[in-house]
Structure 1
């Protein structure tokens, strides 16, 4: 009976150890990959720019994954620039980081709550076994305020800065009736896309007619977010013949400064141009040559005989000089063709470039994401050109096979499209082919550079 009483206690102790054993066999998921979210504001106006930063931290155990983009039915969300990749030390653990920046423009006042951002991927444990990982993060709720009742403008423009400028009309002095003048107005807003900027309608005085061209809008991404620009070019033609001053009216664009939380006005001051009176018709000049009649009804003018120009000897000298130059060029070409071409040394990579290339090939075979950090540096050292991104490196090398394989790999890594990863050996082979082709192009360029250019332009050789 004593033995039976001890048996349940031993069984309970064993069951208590089982969860701990299970945890030891499966790595802690939060140590492998996790998401971090941050936003520039927790309270914004409707249509005001909100800057969202998404960071995915992952270790070398992660071999592929997919991170979705934020979305919301009551907000316009746009990606800001290209994603960044770097390394960061967190709590003594070295992580790789994928950082994405977004700008969010809430379209309705109230409470904006973005859906969770999810990451799903595959990791590999030290024994080579694959297992699924996942993480999710939610941004804090953002309060969206309505348009203030005190705003006086027709178009709501919440921004950090709005400016209005003009160019053209550089002519000094009075302008003549009928002159075609050009004026370009530029409206720039920091924190707003170009599509939200109002059109520039100006009521010009009756003394001048305006003919506007289609407006040009463009948005650009900067460190502080989106910058929208609207350009309006118009032709201005004075039509009055009375002369005097013409005043181009002042232009005012109200906007809301989200930093100081108050209304401001972008102002283009009035511009005055001076209009000359219509010129009086001038008297028809009297011809200096006497009229004659050839007897057939055709009138003409009798031209005065000019003395013979003392430059008749110039043309023979020019022809002789051209002939001498042509003969010199032909002789130089003949002598160059008779000279044996010098040996062209095969360009080999430097020791540093060679070591970088070997490391890059090893990373390619293992499909190590560190490849994307070293690839631009190696391509820049190989080609002696400035190279900071993967796309710049691919453009410089101009190898279709390498570009295709790298694009397939990038699509499989942290892109919303997802997809299967490429074969590492194929990637390393494409890398070697691209390097060899670059050396061949350099050698060919050296050989071509030693030859004199053709005597005729391309396509006109006899």
Structure 2
């Protein structure tokens, strides 16, 4: 009996010690532990992982990157709190993160370590979700390449389209990788265009963008369409759970071939399948000119607008069109204007304003352009005709230049017998001296207010500018080139200009024409102050000259 009692006492002591040990171990383990909201989930189903410690910690003390291999992760949330109850102070730190398994089977959440303590690993059983949507059910990428065979310098257009078939607000971590190709130049041909549409009765979000691929050297190349990656959150109406679907499209590839440049080609290299060169002539009033011969006048303007439309090239590939106009006209060219049509064709518009400088027949040149037809694989030349101008003199004819009459040299006659002439001369000299003395007396002792009796209009004199100058200024303000030329010719013919003045006037008129016929938005004010100042200077100078002549021709009052 003693033996049995001793054994029972020993067993009781052992069990008590074991219980104390387990209680101590549990107390130690409970200070740092990990829990999950579910340990049996379907693929892509969202559940919560929570890690708790009773010590003070910071948000970056736990490294969650070890979960990226098997789980899609949300952003970790961290919270720290301090509680004081009956003077006992306790702290608590907690991390919460949303997870979704990427694969099926048994997926393990590893243990985490903090200040020498470790959490237990957690096994998650993941089954396949038969109702889960695929990437193609939610996101789709479409593309179309218009050409796969090119020549060096030729371009192809890739039209790419992204279709999102669900609410875009549920997309997360989205990334669109642009198309790529090695050995060729790839640039966006348009900005991304996002809009709403209806596809198969369902509202979708569409993003369109075009890309231009330009060949640089012969060879074979591979083009890859854009790729979309990301994830989408959606809810299960049956069990109320939230799931994350990983999205990744599989991009399509295109095989491209670049031919060798033909060795016998002449001129600027311009490979294209379609080229259109056209022009339009207009008179100074903007009316189209339909004939190849046009009657105009010196100083009147006509415009020539050339349009070049090319398929399959970039703006930089278009040639610089040079027009060699004759010296009998003044030509002002605007900067070329470029635009791209919806089908990718590039359009260049070049405008010239042409003003005849002298009367007669003037032949404006034709324009020719060489290009390589990539469809027929042959060289072609496209030409637009020139125009014959029949320029007549301006309506304002110049005044005839009257040559100065040569002065007849005075003849000297010598007389031996003066006769009565010396006496008669002396008499007239005496009378002249008396008259001059009376005039000086009247001038000094006459009425003092005589000069002030003149009317104000007499003292003001003539206006500072002529009527022609005012007409020129008004025409400049209206940007009316024809009216400017007409008024300026009328003013020129009313003045007596030196050869130097004519050169300076021509320079001022050329600068005004360049500003007048340059491209502007229709509201820009043309600054003609330089020409107006020159006109004002000439009028003042000639007014002073006329005043000196009148003063020199006046006789003293008798």
Greater strand content: 2
TM-score by length of 1: 0.48
Structure index of larger Rg: 2
